[in-house]
Amino acid sequence: MKRLLRSLMLLIIFCYAYVPAVAQLTGSNRFTFEADDTIWIKVMQIDTVNYRHNQWQAGKPQKTVFNAAYAGTYALVTDTINAYAPNDTSVFTLTFPGRVHPSSYPSWLVPWIDHFSFYYQLNMDTTSFARLEFSQDSGKTWIDLQDSTPFAVVCDTLLTTTGWHSWSIRFISPGYYMYSDSLKFRFTFVSGSDTMSRDGWMIDEMYLNYMFEGINDIHATHDVTLYPNPACDQLTIISGETANKDGRTASIYDIAGRLWCKYSLTGNSTTISTADIPCGVYQCLIDAGDAQIVNKKLVIVR
């Protein structure tokens, strides 16, 4: 009886997830699949129409290899209890708005997806495979991210070795994707004919981050240069004629919106220290009072 009730609950969740909904996304988003996290339901569609035996489930992993989530209690698994069935295909899709505009951000900022990442494990036989695809035209065309990489995108390869791995995709050119109505990611697990008990694919801790550009400066970002970028311990900010204004400051924020440092800029070239900033991806906001000049992506590496 408990198993029947659990199956009915999952069916209700999946049917709800298949209905398109507008997710209330902000600049930085984290999807955990926990019971109190409802945002993932609004961006996920588990396809039980074309794949009636779809095995994707959100719940507590209770299998031989998949016996715990990456963080918290729940994860997304090809069946949380049983080994995956042979000769089957399980699919789910994530749909992210190409444009979001949180109320806390000024109206003159234009958002674009900067990166998407998650943690995962794979446990499968040699006749099975996992596929991850990307679409920027609402699912009309799909690109297999393991076989080819879209323009202006850098992404990882799915690993099949034991244990947790991280996967991420970064959009390195804002202008190419910022006007897409939506970006979709499709996760497909195809099981082969091998009947040996394997656990399949488990996913947890998804992160989605939006960056923001000034409307008046999207086509003039060449007037401000960050050098070198990626930077290590020092960064030089070079301003062209249209960006060389009095009272300018440079503020560096991480992807969670935390301010790491703020500097006053003088002349058309200012060198600042980044030695105390951890490695990662940041936003460098350069402004002069109420007039924003430009918001640029900065990468710190060592």
β-partners of residue 144 are: 133
Is the entire prediction scored with pTM above 0.85?
Answer: no
Q: Which of 91-100, 110-119, 187-196, 282-291 has the highest mean pLDDT?
A: 187-196
Name the architecture of domain 228-300: Sandwich (2.60)
Q: For 198-250, how does the pLDDT look when each residue is reduced to its tens digit (9 = 90+)?
A: 999 999 999 887 766 554 443 444 467 888 888 999 999 887 655 556 677 88
Query: In which band, very low, low, confident or very high, does the pLDDT at 191 lie, cut at 50, 70 and 90?
Result: very high
DSSP states along 225-275? EEESSSBSSEEEEEE-TTT--TTEEEEEEETT--EEEEEE--TTEEEEE-T
Q: For the chain, what are the domain ranges? A: 2-213, 228-300
Query: In which band, very low, low, confident or very high, does the pLDDT at 35 lie, cut at 50, 70 and 90?
Result: low
**Token code pair at residue 97:** 């708005």
pLDDT greater than 80 at residue 293:
no
CATH class of 2-213: mainly beta
Query: In which band, very low, low, confident or very high, does the pLDDT at 81 lie, cut at 50, 70 and 90?
Result: very high
Distance CA 276, CA 258 (A): 14
Q: What angle do CA 36, 40, 44 make, to 5 degrees?
A: 145
Q: For 102-123, how does the pLDDT look when each residue is reduced to its tens digit (9 = 90+)?
A: 554 555 455 667 788 999 999 9
Q: For 255-273, how does the pLDDT look when each residue is reduced to its tens digit (9 = 90+)?
A: 656 778 888 888 788 899 9
Phi/psi for 220 (5° steps) reads -130, 20
pLDDT greater than 50 at residue 288:
yes
- Residue 158: predicted pLDDT: 92
**Cα distance from N-terminal residue to C-terminal residue, the chain:** 56
